[in-house]
Structure 1
């Protein structure tokens, strides 16, 4: 399906060579859609740790590839089989694009569909993403942004929010129980603190940077532990809070080499550790894993059903996304510098269409 009424060229931020800075230049605007796709005029796009993994060549990404898998936009055109979106809708971009629809994962529950092994790709990782004036997403994985949730808040939720939200579900922690988040003062962690507490879950926030510990406090965490004090002290603090047992489950969003072991150590025997971070190897001391009968679960992003539920919870519970705003795609290199400085609190977010955002804010 050809698209009319859009410019022939647009500005995009692309990976054109691994281990090199992004290239900001003009590229052709998408001019056709497959049956389940929608074209978004990008309003906001944000930076995620996975973006650096793409530039480092961690994935077999075909280059050039437009960066960012955390986007929001306004629908400008829809494919022939799209029924859940219309022109003018505000949308949080879905990462998975064009799953096969017939494999084991696609035939399973909605929350398995993002694991399709025959998928065309995830935006910003294998196919073009949201650091552009327009981007194409799959209607079966994208979500409508509720009233009361801004595009600047929704963009980081497309990956960071969906990921930590699903991690909480996978952890099986119930209202009134305890969860520890290792790496709680980052983009995912500060959202996890709020999601958990909104569900009545007690949170232990663990991190090792001053800026991160400050963000844990800002996110509302009551129990904040500094990982620099060492594993033994952390375990004692957590056991003192939990009748000597430890938390019911832990979620690890830190890539530090000791983080997975720490997460298991603060978890009670027979509990669950959910691994979200993606270091090259996940290393756990055998005593913390085997002697204590800890179950380890891996998790990726959420499917459409949980992602939409997450957005509704953001609106319902007034979840706050800590953002560092930059205006214009030409500012993306500065976003990268901040992210790599170790001083960033929350998420680096690029306002691509300032006029659209101003109009949105005026209506709020």
Structure 2
């Protein structure tokens, strides 16, 4: 909404933003019943409103790479409104046991977290560092890593988020404000003197990426999720010689596919993962974006359009 990523094409001023929306079906188009939905069903609208479904990326489950993807709130009206239309093929069913407030953030932050962990190929018992572990995505990555993927998590964030990070399942919490050398020493000390098997960068910070590479043990993998704003900046510590000699992997992960969304909602319905959230009204939308940008928001904000 604030174009902090310097996108080449801006969202039209008249566009309705929003994704991660949950609601009930009140009208169905011709043929939409073939996808298993009916009137009154509770469904979710994700960031990806639709993909082509036939390209090599879609067939491989890499929906976020489809060249014909359509995004909610970008060039199609989003979910910051009472009613929204969406292709039935790409809707996600919401489990009956799961509240809408918890389900909504799972439709982007949750499935993004799950997909990043899936791509990490991390084995149970491995050490994983999560940078930005108390953020909207980070606290979900931390929970899923510890409780669904069997990781031993070292969470790094601002001191004010320590309680949330530990409650999310991190064995160790480190304050991001500590000098980088001290943090590196602590990560190494806690991870068998070798460093982490995996680092997931959820913080939208160039410094976090530079720091994250140093946390890896030989053969380790860095998963990039957070996207820093401003002009694109290379990872300062990702020297080719280091990557080659330590056999490091750097993997980008954006969004997830339809199955990821279903899987993470099922985990949420079973209580394996939940969301730290606060409910706000639509009138607080501008303030919510400002809180998100400044880092003042802990977990997620859920907008209630029914109040």
Q: Above 0.5 in TM-score?
A: yes
| Match of residue 44 from structure 1 | none
- What is the CA deviation profile of residues 243-272 of structure 1, one whole-angstrom value per residue up to 9, with x for unaligned ones? 212111111011222111221111111111
1:154 to 85, 90, 103: 103
SS class of match (2:204): coil
Check 1:113–1:125 CA distance in 2 against 1; reply closer, same or farther (3 A cut): same
- Give the Cα–Cα distance (whole angstroms) in 2 for the partners of residues 104 and 220 of structure 1: 37
- RMSD across aligned positions (CA): 2.1
| Match of residue 42 from structure 1 | none
1:95 to 26, 30, 47: 47
Asked if 1:179 corresponds to 2:179, the answer is no
Check 1:219–1:282 CA distance in 2 against 1; reply closer, same or farther (3 A cut): farther
Are the aligned partners of 2:153 and 2:169 in contact in 1 as well (CA < 8 Å)? no
Residue 282 of structure 1, CA deviation: 4.4
SS class of match (2:90): coil
- What is the CA deviation profile of residues 154-191 of structure 1, one whole-angstrom value per residue up to 9, with x for unaligned ones? 11111111111111111111222121111111000011
Are the aligned partners of 1:53 and 1:59 in contact in 2 as well (CA < 8 Å)? no
Asked if 1:65 corresponds to 2:15, the answer is yes
Are the aligned partners of 1:70 and 1:93 in contact in 2 as well (CA < 8 Å)? yes
Check 1:59–1:125 CA distance in 2 against 1; reply closer, same or farther (3 A cut): farther
2:238 to 271, 276, 286: 286
- Give the Cα–Cα distance (whole angstroms) in 2 for the partners of residues 94 and 84 of structure 1: 18
Check 1:57–1:233 CA distance in 2 against 1; reply closer, same or farther (3 A cut): closer
Q: TM-score, normalised by structure 2?
A: 0.89
Q: Which runs of 5+ in 1 are unaligned?
A: 1-50, 355-364
Asked if 1:325 corresponds to 2:270, the answer is no
- Give the Cα–Cα distance (whole angstroms) in 1 for the partners of residues 264 and 30 of structure 2: 28
| Match of residue 298 from structure 2 | 345
SS class of match (1:65): coil
1:307 to 261, 274, 277: 261
Check 1:282–1:127 CA distance in 2 against 1; reply closer, same or farther (3 A cut): farther
Check 1:158–1:61 CA distance in 2 against 1; reply closer, same or farther (3 A cut): farther
Question: In the TM superposition, what are the counterparts of 1:1-364 in structure 2 within 5 Å?
Answer: 51-53=1-3, 58=7, 60-63=9-12, 64-82=14-32, 83-106=35-58, 108-109=59-60, 111-119=61-69, 121-199=70-148, 200-207=150-157, 209-279=158-228, 280-287=232-239, 289-327=243-281, 329-354=282-307
- Give the Cα–Cα distance (whole angstroms) in 2 for the partners of residues 59 and 152 of structure 1: 33
Residue 302 of structure 1, CA deviation: 0.9
- Give the Cα–Cα distance (whole angstroms) in 1 for the partners of residues 41 and 145 of structure 2: 29
Structure ranking higher in strand proportion? 1
Check 1:245–1:72 CA distance in 2 against 1; reply closer, same or farther (3 A cut): same
- What is the CA deviation profile of residues 257-309 of structure 1, one whole-angstrom value per residue up to 9, with x for unaligned ones? 21112211111111110011112334231355454331111111111111100
State how many pairs are aligned: 298
Moved over 6 A (4+): none
- Give the Cα–Cα distance (whole angstroms) in 2 for the partners of residues 315 and 303 of structure 1: 19
SS class of match (2:128): strand
